[in-house]
Amino acid sequence: MDLKEIKAVIDLMTKNGLSEFELERQEFKIRIKKGEIIENRGNSGQSGPAFAQYAPGHPALLPAQGLAAPVPAPAAPAPAAPVENTTSILSPMVGTFYGSPSPDSSPYVTVGQQVTEDTVVCIIEAMKIMNEIKAEVKGTIVEVLAENGKPVDFNKPLFSVKP
């Protein structure tokens, strides 16, 4: 995979709000995460390190092939202090968070609302597919942690729930 192909993958990830991409072929494997590129060439017989990692703020890790250092992502706001005795509903995938079925609809759940294991709490769009996310816990919504229309990562908290 050459630099032009890697840039094309990064452009597609940016356009589609993805934060991770992985491709494996016989001669190599590449995994790109938002903020870092990890490439493992395996046993292809190529010279150089078998494992190279490029990360923001670490220009010494960049290869001498003229690649520019990645631009660091803007600092995320500090997370709110967790509420005592709560559990989180976690994102089961990478995608875009939507709190309602359509922009002009009311949200699936609101703070103070009771939910059961089968209550749909949001939609996560991944690869142009809308995936309904269920609470999988019984309790009261204490806080909505994800922002409508914004990307979410795998295993990140979407909601705080008091059981």
Distance CA 67, CA 132 (A): 40
Lowest mean pLDDT among 49-53, 99-103, 128-132: 49-53
**How many Cα atoms sit within 13 Å of 27 on the Cβ side?**
5
Per-residue pLDDT of 116-150, as tens digits, reads 999 999 999 998 899 999 999 999 999 999 999 99
* CA 1 to chain centroid: 23
Which is nearest to 38 in space by CA: 22, 26, 16?
22
Threshold 0.75, pTM exceeds: no
Strands, E, within the chain: which ranges?
20-24, 29-33, 36-40, 51-54, 87-90, 95-98, 114-115, 120-126, 129-134, 139-144, 151-152, 157-162
Q: Which of 7-11, 58-62, 91-95 shows the highest mean pLDDT?
A: 91-95
Average pLDDT, the chain: 75
Give me the domains of the chain, ranges plus CATH numbers.
Answer: 3-61 (no CATH), 87-162 (2.40.50.100)
